[in-house]
């Protein structure tokens, strides 16, 4: 079976690196002469829409599943539906609403509220944290803030964890520039691997279940862990994660195990 990759954007460094590792060919987003059929396997890297010829192939990460994952409200609604219909598995997510009045009620009771002004944003784009005394703004999604001890990104491929990353404080960033509420690069955090930091079992279990529940073949699941309640909360799934170092190696080894190096 021939192996290809279709990127969400041209020139993706992660797609280039992974394609080289597993012997896959890249399909150009513009001006491609690619012809599809069921004998060709295509790794869809983050696209919610695919060209007609690519749709004819055996696609990993179907575009409708990617669409659910990439939109924050669609993701939460998909998880809620899964929880309402599953008898033996459950995905823990924060409380969410599209109602400004309901979010105001949370605020009045002393909870922090996360405003999501961009449903398809990434790296904290479009996020505003509101606390007691603040005025809520109109936005498409409100999420109840959950206190966390740690935050993780768990990479899952075909039901197996292929890499584990933890968001850690970047010591090169001054204290006054660090925002512990929203842990991203802009607020003073980096992905780290610490062998001496144990990953809570719930974090790994929730990651694997979430990827399966969305109908994805692979994804990088962002999860926070509340130590006091011993609970893991799933925040989102990235279907086009950045790949370097051991993350790249983890995906490459798992893909090779699944279907080999790919050739014409």
Can you give the C-alpha Rg of the chain in angstroms? 19
pLDDT of residue 188: 56
Q: What is the pTM of this model?
A: 0.90
Task: Profile the chain (264 residues) by mean pLDDT over runs of 10 residues.
Answer: 89 93 94 94 97 96 97 97 94 97 95 94 82 93 92 94 81 62 60 75 96 97 92 96 91 88 41
Distance of CA 248 to the CA centre of its chain: 16
Contact at 8 Å (CB) between 166 and 191? Answer: yes
3-state secondary structure of 39: coil
CA gap 238, 25 in Å, rounded: 22
CA gap 131, 134 in Å, rounded: 6
Contact at 8 Å (CB) between 222 and 234? Answer: yes
What 3 state SS string does 55-111 have? HCCEEECCHHHHHHHHCHHHHHHHHHHHHHHCCCCCCCCCCEECCHHHHHHHHHCCC
CA gap 111, 104 in Å, rounded: 9
pLDDT of residue 262: 41
pLDDT of residue 264: 35
């Amino acid at each position: 079976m021939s192996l290809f990759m279709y990127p969400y954007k041209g020139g993706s460094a992660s797609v280039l690196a992974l394609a080289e590792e597993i012997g896959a060919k890249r399909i150009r987003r513009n001006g491609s002469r690619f012809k599809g059929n069921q004998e060709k396997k295509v790794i869809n890297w983050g696209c919610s829409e695919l060209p007609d010829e690519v749709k004819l192939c055996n696609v990993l990460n179907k575009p409708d599943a990617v669409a659910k994952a990439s939109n924050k409200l669609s993701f939460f609604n998909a998880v809620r539906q899964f929880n309402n219909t599953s008898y033996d598995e459950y995905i823990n997510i924060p409380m969410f609403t599209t109602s400004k009045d309901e979010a105001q009620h949370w605020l009045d009771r002393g909870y922090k509220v996360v405003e999501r002004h961009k449903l398809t944003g990434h790296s904290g784009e479009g996020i505003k944290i509101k606390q007691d005394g603040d005025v809520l703004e109109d936005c498409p999604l409100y999420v109840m803030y959950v206190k966390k001890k740690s935050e993780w990104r768990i990479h899952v491929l075909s039901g197996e964890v292929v890499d584990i990353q933890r968001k850690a404080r970047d010591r090169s960033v001054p204290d006054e520039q660090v925002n512990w509420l929203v842990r991203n690069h802009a607020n003073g955090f980096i992905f780290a691997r610490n062998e001496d930091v144990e990953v809570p079992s719930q974090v790994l279990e929730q990651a694997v279940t979430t990827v399966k529940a969305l109908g994805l073949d692979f994804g990088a699941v962002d999860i926070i862990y509340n130590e006091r309640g011993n609970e893991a909360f799933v925040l989102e799934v990235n279907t086009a994660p950045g790949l370097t170092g051991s993350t790249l190696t983890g995906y490459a080894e798992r893909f090779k195990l699944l279907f080999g190096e790919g050739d014409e």
